[in-house]
Amino acid sequence: MNQLGFPLLSLVLWLPTLGALALLFVPRDSIGTQRTVALAFALAALAVSLPLYFAFDASSKGFQFAEAVDWVRSWGISYNISIDGVSLWLVLLTTFLTPITLISTWDSVHKDFRSFQILMLLLETGMIGVFVAQDLFLFYIFWEFTLIPMALLIGIWGSANRVRAAVKFFLYTFAGSVFMLLGIIALYLLNRQATGTPTFDIAILQANIANGTLKIDPTVGRLLFASFFLAFAIKVPLWPFHTWLPLAHTEAPTAGSVILAGVLLKLGGYGLIRFNLQLFPEAARWAAPAIGVLAVIGILYGAMVSFAQTDMKKLVAYSSVSHLGFVVLGIFALNQQGISGAILQMINHGLSTGALFLVVGYIYERRHTREMAAFGGLWKVMPIYGGLALAMVMSSVGLPGLNGFVGEYTIMQGAYLSDALGGAFVAFAVIGVILAATYLLRMFRLTFMGDVTNPENATLSDITPREIALLVLLLVPIVVIGVYPNLLFAPMQPAVEQIAQQLTSVVASIR
């Protein structure tokens, strides 16, 4: 349903693209105008997206703000967009982080500024499109489109090995997408054969599978599950499909790393919930223990490799492998607590890790190094920077009262109560929490604590008011979620409950 009777979701979706088109008419040497135009459209998208929350019916299990227009009727393709409790916060996270990321580029992008802003705005449209598309064909278009601006951002504005990083990112994610495309085509053909009606509508396909109209052989269902899972596991990224991520993060410009960690990786977690759990619940239950093992390995592996890093950006990059392992663990707990915790933790990771990449980027712009050995005692010469950095570190560690604690606790509760997983998975995941505190606090100690031993650090000035403002903007939701998590939990519960009930009925039928 569309509560407002107005295509609000389309406006949120396409405003960034309109901004990108507007930038084409701004002269290349008018940097100030480019900043203003890009930020104006990003802020407009944020402003227009806020009514999605205030008008959202938190008691409804169905999709809201729906818009549907036939596109290629003979093939069953439509422009069909809407959101539910699963996608609401991911859309808002995207519109919130994009203007922050654009502002962060004002001092860090020194060539072809206009093209950088255009790609960032196009990427925003692509990411929002993934979260709102309710047609498999439309979803795949947005999914693939996000690869292009992100690869260009890394390959043109990145560090020394930027081309290698961009190529690796593109090839890994594109290879996974090919398998998903095969799964989409197979599902489309199976449904057309069973019903005689061509459609890519996700809700119709899900309903046909649930009511038995579309009967899929268990072996075929598991193959289809695997085709989707591979694409999403690479994007998360889940161990052992993670190897593209550290290089991409390390070589990407700061803004690229923020948006990559903040939103782009969430496309994988969202896909696992929307498609693997909802379209293939039997296969999800069958695969859950094995995927849980991969998630736990990722949690521990990412934490241990993070501890071994001397480059701050690499440390934060590998920490994503560990933190997102918790997200996958929560999803495949296959219960309401686990899935709710996973959605919340995706938001938490976007805020906390995005902030940590800004923290690293600020000092890199001043010292042109990210090696922890080059610093020490920064808190004495940059007290505001040190205080905000500590807050972001504590958020990522999972300090009670901040956002990370709520997400990790809910995930582990879900895994412990899960019929598919259990206490052993939680026991290993807890080790990952301890290791996260170890490597993040070690990074903070080596960089900020002690005496200033390097003369180059003694003359550093504290971060600027604009840089402070960006970190404070991220700190506000970090604290709000930690103190009042129900603000986020309440809208998602009806949709998550429906998914959990579907999975529970499948487990009961298997027994």
484 closest CA partner among 406, 394, 395, 387: 406
Most confident of 151-160, 236-245, 341-350, 411-420: 341-350
Q: Is the pLDDT of residue 510 over 70?
A: no
Q: Is the pLDDT of residue 507 over 70?
A: no
Q: Is the pLDDT of residue 86 over 80?
A: yes
The stretches of 158-280 forming alpha helices (DSSP H) are 162-195, 202-210, 218-235, 244-251, 254-259, 266-271, 278-279
Q: Is the pLDDT of residue 468 over 70?
A: yes
Confidence label for 214 from pLDDT (cuts 50, 70 and 90): confident
pLDDT score recorded for residue 233 = 93
Stretch 490-501: mean pLDDT: 88
Contact 376, 447 (CB under 8 A): yes
Return the structure tokens found at 205: 């396909």
**pLDDT tens for each residue of 409-451:** 999 999 998 888 888 888 998 998 899 889 999 999 999 888 8
Q: Which of 113-127, 175-189, 241-255 has the lowest mean pLDDT?
A: 241-255
pLDDT score recorded for residue 197 = 87
Contact 187, 179 (CB under 8 A): no
The alpha carbon of 499 is separated from its chain's Cα centroid by a whole number of angstroms, namely: 20
Q: How far is CA 250 from CA 108, 161, 237, in A?
A: 15, 9, 15
pLDDT score recorded for residue 506 = 62
Return the structure tokens found at 88: 């609401």
How far is residue 230's CA from residue 180's CA, in Å, rounded to a whole number? 8
Share of the chain above pLDDT 70, in %: 98
pLDDT score recorded for residue 71 = 87
**pLDDT tens for each residue of 64-84:** 888 889 888 888 889 999 999
Average pLDDT of the residues of the chain = 89
422 closest CA partner among 511, 334, 344: 334
Stretch 142-153: mean pLDDT: 92
For the chain, how are helix, strand and coil distributed in percent, rounded to 5?
A: 75, 5, 20
- Are β-strands 77-83 and 64-72 bridged in parallel, bridged antiparallel, or unpaired? antiparallel
**pLDDT tens for each residue of 94-113:** 999 999 999 988 877 778 88
Contact 173, 235 (CB under 8 A): yes
pLDDT score recorded for residue 458 = 85
pLDDT score recorded for residue 328 = 93
- Return the bridge partners of 311, or none: 371
pLDDT score recorded for residue 308 = 86
How far is residue 211's CA from residue 69's CA, in Å, rounded to a whole number? 26
Q: Is the pLDDT of residue 4 over 70?
A: no
How far is residue 500's CA from residue 486's CA, in Å, rounded to a whole number? 19
How far is residue 131's CA from residue 239's CA, in Å, rounded to a whole number? 24
The alpha carbon of 153 is separated from its chain's Cα centroid by a whole number of angstroms, namely: 17
C-alpha distance across the termini of the chain, in Å: 36
Stretch 303-316: mean pLDDT: 89
